Chain A
Amino acid sequence: MSEEYLSQPLSLGSSSSDDKTRPNRSSGLSSATSTFATPISPYLNYDPRYLQQAQPEFIFPEGANKQRGRFELAFSQIGSSVMVGAGIGGLAGFYNGLQTTSALKQTGNLRRTQLLNHIMKQGSGTANTLGTLAVMYSAFGVLLQNVRGEDDDINTLIAGTATGLLYKSTAGLRKCAIGGGVGLGITAAYCLFQLMRTNSNGSGVKFL
């Protein structure tokens, strides 16, 4: 804010009688009350133009970023994918267990134990798979964010592709490429979805 801007009179309220009054920081109570049409608090004896109203002002703790990065999100992402995986795997295991036990005509205690075994085994398997994928994705994401210095959709795409490639890296070149493609496809779909949502919410052209 320059001094030139501050030296101009305030055009708030009725300025018929006091065109000469130049409200500034040192103007006292009388100037503050006479400049405005409505009497304001005598404690407000400084130029209200110092109060920024255009953009919100936030006070951050020292060294904190304005937005939470990928590292802060990583643990919740991993945790939720582990839990979702456990839930899905548990349900699938329950279904499989029901089918297996009824095919083998197991009843009573035996059936209950077999069902529990199925649920635990398939649940933990799916949870581990999804969790490992999330760990890989988060690691790549955090790495890319630190290297490139920004957090955008390109990071998401690269991290997804790299996750797919790494996860299938021991299964042969062809499967590895397929894994990378799947990762790229999922992240691209996610990015398109995000773009569509921001465009439909904000003022802009509709996407798709």
Chain B
Amino acid sequence: MEEYAREPCPFRIIDDCGGAFAMGCIGGGVFQAIKGFRNAPSGISKRMIGSLTAVKIRSPVIAGNFAVWGGMFSTIDCTLVHFRKKEDPWNSIISGFATGGILAARNGIPAMAGSAIIGGVLLALIEGVGILFTRLSAEQFKNPAPPIEDPAVLGEAAQPFSFGQTSQHPSQYQ
């Protein structure tokens, strides 16, 4: 998704929340389907039922967790945009760090710190990969280097230039 295709800031929160929920719902559904299939008792129909039950029970919860992460992240991002008056990778990194910390707030300080660091590093990685891709794709559209206009390439001027006397030196006539 390109930068210009995103919503402006306050509405971006809803958009990001929805995107995260959809991602969690579909991704979590696939993941839980496999997990439920493996963990169910043997017999193909039992495995199918186990898979379906796991998807029904777990994937909305995973989706909800994703949505909370996305919404919180986007809220902090927009707050930072508002106060810093610019949008740059630091916003994302800081809000990833803060989101990780806030969402683990009820698990104690050490868990908060670990979660915050994980969030910050994850977002830094994502932003770094984004910048890298931008650099790489910008490389393709670079203009070709202009031809060098250096008179030295033409070599030493052997004789003074004049019309009609290209082959003969004027000193021959004297």
- Can you list 21 A-B contacts (CB < 8 A)? A74-B18, A75-B18, A75-B22, A76-B14, A76-B18, A78-B21, A79-B13, A79-B17, A79-B19, A79-B71, A80-B18, A82-B64, A127-B64, A128-B60, A128-B61, A128-B63, A128-B64, A132-B63, A135-B26, A135-B63, A138-B22
Query: For the complex, would chain B's binding face be called helix, strand, loop or mixed by DSSP majority?
Result: helix
What class of interface size applies to chain A in its complex with B?
A: 10 to 19
Question: Given A78-B21, A79-B17, A82-B21, are A131 and B63 also a contact pair (CB < 8 Å)?
Answer: yes
B63 contact set on A, CB distance < 8 A: 128, 131-132, 135
> Contacts A76-B11, A135-B25 known; A127 to B67 CB distance under 8 Å?
yes
- Out of A76, A124, A128, A135, name the residue touching B15 (CB < 8 Å): A76
* Residues 8-53 (chain B) with a chain A CB within 8 angstroms: 11, 13-19, 21-22, 25-26, 52
Residues from 34 to 87 in B contacting A, C-beta threshold 8 Å: 52, 56, 59-61, 63-64, 67, 71
Interface: A38 (CB within 8 A) = no
A-chain residues with CB within 8 Å of residue B26 when the two chains form the complex = 135
A45 interface hit (Cβ, 8 Å)? no
Give chain A's interface residues, CB within 8 Å of chain B. Answer: 74-80, 82-83, 124, 127-129, 131-132, 134-135, 138, 170
- Interface pair B56/A131, CB less than 8 Å apart: no
From A74, A124, A129, give the contact of B22 (CB < 8 A): A74
CB < 8 Å A-B pair total: 68
Complex contacts, B22 vs chain A, CB 8 Å: 74-75, 78, 135, 138
Instruction: Give the dominant DSSP class at A's interface.
Output: helix
Closest 8 CB pairs of A and B: A79-B18, A78-B18, A128-B60, A79-B17, A79-B14, A75-B18, A128-B64, A75-B19
Chain B min CB distance to A117 (Å)? 11
A123 to chain B, nearest CB (A): 10
Residue in B18, B19, B26 with the greatest tally of chain A CB atoms within 10 Å: B18
**B25 and A79 within 8 A (CB):** no
Contacts of B61 in A (CB 8 A): 124, 128
For B15, the chain A residues whose CB sits under 8 A away are 75-76, 79
**Are the CB atoms of B25 and A131 closer together than 8 Å?**
yes
